[in-house]
A and B are shown apart, each in its own frame.
Chain A
Amino acid sequence: MQTSPTQPVASTAYLLFRVAAERYALASASVREIIRWRLPTPVPGAPPLLPGVINQRGQILAIIDLRLLLGLVAAAPDRATRLIWVHHSGIDAALLVDAVDDLIAIEPSQIEPPPVHVAGPAQRVIHALYRHHDQPVAILDPAALFALVQEAA
């Protein structure tokens, strides 16, 4: 889908996805693949936000439950549940999200600074905001996200 009739060169592709009722986006440059949910191998002693590891074509990926990372309640996986294989700053991991919606192009001018009222872990990982059909979409910073997970692990 296109957000503007003439595709500007400066726009960047973002993957749009949902966690609980909220919408998030990740720069597609750091997204390797979208994987259907499957039961991971649990890692004993790991915190709940790391429910386990999966083997995706030979790469071991730690699953990061974004709900728990963002301070929301966990949910049982369903047909829409997806794993997003993120590769950033030398780390490969799979983000557990409730649904993947779309791949969209966003121009830099459409990006706003993050809202000031957000608190808690979300504040650290949201690095910008974008309005998609008048709905706010929080753009995540993968580096900050991994840093947060590493602190918890």
Chain B
Amino acid sequence: MDLTSFYAQFRDETADNLRVLNDALLAIEGQAGETLRRSELDRAFRAVHTIKGAARMLGFDPIAQVAHAIEHVLGEIRQERCTLDRPLADLLLRGGDLIGQLVAEAPQMPAPALAAVPEIVQALGAASPAEPAAAPSSPPAAAPQPPPALAEPAPRAARQTVRVRVDRLDRLFNLAGELAVNQQWLGEVGQELYRLQEAVERQQRAVQALERELARLRFSPTQRQALDARLATLRDAQAALADLAQRQSDRLDRHLARQQMLVKDLEQEVMAVRLLPIATIFNSLPRLVRDLAAATNKQATIEIRGETTELDRKVLEVISDPLVHLVRNAVDHGLEAPDERVAAGKPPVGLIQISAESAGNEVRIQIRDDGRGIDPERVRQRAVELGMLGAERARQLDTQEALDVIFQPGFSTARTVTEISGRGVGMDIVRANLIELGGQVRVDSIVGQGTTVTLTIPLTLITSRVLLVQAGRQMLALPAATIRGILWVRRDQVQLIDGQPTIAYQQQTVALLSLAELLGMNVDAPLVRHPRAPALLLNARQRRIALLVDDLLDEREAVVKPLGPLFARRPALSGAVQLGDGGLALLINPLQLIEGGARRAAALPVLSQSLRDESRRARLLVVDDSFTTRELLRSILQSAGYEVTVAIDGADALDRLRSTTYDLVVSDIEMPRVDGFTLTTRIRRELALSELPVVLITSLASEEHRRRGLEAGAQAYIVKSQFNQDSLLKVIQQLLGHEE
């Protein structure tokens, strides 16, 4: 009999039960109320009893022995024949850990874990005087043992769940994606049917014209009769054809509309199935904090929020280790010893706060401690000592940039760093894992008050927001999360610094690289072929880099598929994006591309160096909820010499208007929270800025909307379909009163 599937099930189930055991033991420790204590104890008891039963059935005697010993101790505690003090809790937890190790690769059981069994069993036996300790040399055999009277099997029937293999889910999602693509194809068939109907109508008109012509000609009565008969047949056939074409077209339309909805629903359902609550990884953290605090002679409590936040299971897998690592750092290096804390006027018990929340397409996870914080000055010193930065460069780093240095590979692996900066090893790994996911990590710290690490992660890996660009002859996709903004670069703005083409942007120097060239495509750099080209400003904190491309094509939500193991050695290729027509665009992770050492400077010809006159530039606020439109407007206006700030919606714009003075606002109309009409009204009423010019740009082309916009107090109303750069710039110039 093939037991493989049973083993897999046993592994999963035991992992679940161990989690219950762990949670329950920790809860008992912190639980004063007798009733709650009691129910947690019951939970722990049931979990370990289930493990024992299953292990016996599959013949894993060592696991059954350990489970039995734990169960016995728990029974004694329940009978109040012994108390659960700290050492005993430790012992029980260690027992649970040992089972975890034994189960991990079942049916194989690792030798070191097996060797530890007698010791644990003996220790547990010694802890509960009622049963004599089992001798390590002759552990209790797997002989049937009467189950304790109080034990009851875990109530499994009540959970209406099924375990499904992930590859099956992936296939399911694949198929849903295929359906969507097929749907688009059917839509094209619908278009063909429309054209067929048009052709039939043209034919009908031609036949009518022919009839009129024939009516004017003279024929003999027999000829006339024959002609009429033929024409009648033709008319009938014509009518039947028109009717058929019409009906088929209507049917297809109705079918398409219905199917569209079904496909969308299906996609969403399948996607939702892959989501798991983050509790699955948060649950191990209280134990981690408890053990670490004990090991480092510190006191710590942990607060967890948002554990029901859901994430794709693949994402959970990848962030699990970084999360553990960050929590470990927070306790080990973040928190001070109790006496030190008291001396600093803090409570002796340190607080670790972990929270998760979803925001749109992203999930934000924060790990916060109220410890000593990271001193940016020490990070600078250390970076110089390690030879990673010149003293000059280190001085130039602002606080945030200095904190970011801890993510550099050479920095965090240096052993002594732990004593100096307060942060441990492996921050570079944390960052690498997040970049792989298309996510980000940020550290904020205040000396003496604590450190907060924020991970921003895409909700699901299946679809992601991508930017489609033209690079050379190829269309490529880049994750929108990796791009901070878009700048339009003119040839005459490029300056060579040490042979590296750069551009000045917001008082900073940005290195310009050609995306096509980084990818090894054999084409000229965009600026050789165009006088002006867009550049994608990367979200890489260490280096200011913008990638030149030939054109921006689109921004969309796309299904990302893996390229498979044959391209495993090229981490910058993170997959392929399926386009509507069934074609593909490769998904490039630009951060990996840069990290991958392929940092050859894109050779740009030496161009004249001219700096624009920076005196008195008008300050504009661009408000739009679409990333692409926002960046497009920003680049157009910046190229025209304006200083541009962007806001993501009306509410954001109002916040900015409250704190800064602007000369003009350019806003979209349809936006979440506060729309363009409301924004205009509130600028006039609440902020009392009656003179501030507001330009509304919108796809709402109706007269009604134009009227509403002007009524709300907008000075100009530009419809997107009529949109062109020159007219926008002209309107702005007029409104600002410096018309040329």
> Taking beta carbons and an 8 Å cutoff, which residues of A are in contact with B?
41-46, 50, 53-55, 57-62, 64, 90-93, 146, 149-150, 153
- Give complex CA distance A44, B473 in Å: 11
Q: List 10 A-B contacts (CB under 8 A).
A: A41-B474, A53-B586, A58-B177, A59-B561, A60-B562, A60-B564, A62-B564, A93-B566, A153-B569, A153-B570
- Give complex CA distance A5, B341 in Å: 90
- Give complex CA distance A55, B564 in Å: 12
The answer to whether B566 touches A58, judged by C-beta atoms less than 8 angstroms apart, is no
> Within 8 Å of chain A (Cβ to Cβ): is B519?
yes
Report the nearest A residue to B575, measured CB to CB: A60
The answer to whether A43 touches B573, judged by C-beta atoms less than 8 angstroms apart, is yes
Query: Given the interface contacts A58-B174, A58-B175, A60-B564, does A44 sit within 8 Å of B520 by beta carbon?
Result: yes
- Give complex CA distance A58, B474 in Å: 21
- Give complex CA distance A61, B174 in Å: 14
| Interchain nearest-CB distance for B384 vs A (Å) | 36
Q: Which 9 A-B pairs have the closest CB atoms?
A: A44-B519, A45-B520, A58-B174, A41-B584, A58-B178, A62-B566, A60-B561, A60-B576, A44-B521
Assuming A55-B584, A62-B563, A91-B565, what are 14 further A-B pairs, CB within 8 angstroms?
A41-B583, A44-B586, A46-B567, A46-B570, A53-B563, A53-B576, A58-B561, A59-B561, A60-B562, A60-B564, A62-B566, A146-B565, A153-B569, A153-B570
- Give complex CA distance A5, B547 in Å: 66
- Give complex CA distance A57, B578 in Å: 11
| Interchain nearest-CB distance for A64 vs B (Å) | 8
**Residue from A44, A53, A64, A93 in contact with B584 in the complex, judged by beta carbons closer than 8 Å:** A53
Q: A53, A90, A153: which has the most chain B beta carbons within 10 Å?
A: A53
| Interchain nearest-CB distance for A95 vs B (Å) | 12
> Within 8 Å of chain A (Cβ to Cβ): is B585?
yes
B174 partner residues in chain A, CB cutoff 8 A = 58-59
- Give complex CA distance A116, B220 in Å: 91
| Interchain nearest-CB distance for A96 vs B (Å) | 14
The answer to whether A55 touches B578, judged by C-beta atoms less than 8 angstroms apart, is yes
Query: Given the interface contacts A41-B576, A41-B583, A44-B520, does A57 sit within 8 Å of B567 by beta carbon?
Result: no
The answer to whether A149 touches B582, judged by C-beta atoms less than 8 angstroms apart, is no
- Give complex CA distance A55, B570 in Å: 19
The answer to whether B175 touches A45, judged by C-beta atoms less than 8 angstroms apart, is no
- Give complex CA distance A102, B573 in Å: 36
Query: Given the interface contacts A41-B585, A44-B521, A44-B586, does A90 sit within 8 Å of B177 by beta carbon?
Result: no
The answer to whether A41 touches B586, judged by C-beta atoms less than 8 angstroms apart, is yes
Q: Interface 1/0s, chain B 548-567, versus A by CB < 8 A?
A: 00000000000001111111
Report the nearest A residue to B572, measured CB to CB: A45
Q: Interface 1/0s, chain B 563-600, versus A by CB < 8 A?
A: 11111111001011010001111100000000000000
Report the nearest A residue to B561, measured CB to CB: A60
B566 partner residues in chain A, CB cutoff 8 A = 50, 62, 64, 91, 93, 146, 149-150, 153
Report the nearest A residue to B179, measured CB to CB: A58
A57 partner residues in chain B, CB cutoff 8 A = 178
A43 partner residues in chain B, CB cutoff 8 A = 563, 567, 573, 586
The answer to whether B563 touches A60, judged by C-beta atoms less than 8 angstroms apart, is yes
B516 partner residues in chain A, CB cutoff 8 A = 44
A90 partner residues in chain B, CB cutoff 8 A = 565
The answer to whether A45 touches B519, judged by C-beta atoms less than 8 angstroms apart, is yes
B585 partner residues in chain A, CB cutoff 8 A = 41
The answer to whether B578 touches A91, judged by C-beta atoms less than 8 angstroms apart, is no
Query: Given the interface contacts A91-B565, A92-B564, does A45 sit within 8 Å of B576 by beta carbon?
Result: no
**Residue from A55, A146, A153 in contact with B583 in the complex, judged by beta carbons closer than 8 Å:** A55
B570 partner residues in chain A, CB cutoff 8 A = 45-46, 153
Report the nearest A residue to B519, measured CB to CB: A44
B583 partner residues in chain A, CB cutoff 8 A = 41, 55
Report the nearest A residue to B565, measured CB to CB: A91
A54 partner residues in chain B, CB cutoff 8 A = 584
B582 partner residues in chain A, CB cutoff 8 A = 55
The answer to whether A44 touches B569, judged by C-beta atoms less than 8 angstroms apart, is no
Report the nearest B residue to A40, measured CB to CB: B584
Report the nearest B residue to A90, measured CB to CB: B565
- Give complex CA distance A42, B474 in Å: 8
Q: Interface 1/0s, chain B 308-319, versus A by CB < 8 A?
A: 000000000000
| Interchain nearest-CB distance for B300 vs A (Å) | 43
Report the nearest A residue to B573, measured CB to CB: A43
Mark out the residues of chain B between 229 and 247 whose CB falls within 8 Å of any chain A CB in the assembled complex. Answer: none
| Interchain nearest-CB distance for B323 vs A (Å) | 28
B177 partner residues in chain A, CB cutoff 8 A = 58
A92 partner residues in chain B, CB cutoff 8 A = 564
B178 partner residues in chain A, CB cutoff 8 A = 57-58
B521 partner residues in chain A, CB cutoff 8 A = 44-45
A149 partner residues in chain B, CB cutoff 8 A = 566
A62 partner residues in chain B, CB cutoff 8 A = 563-564, 566-567
B565 partner residues in chain A, CB cutoff 8 A = 90-91, 146, 150
- Give complex CA distance A58, B173 in Å: 9
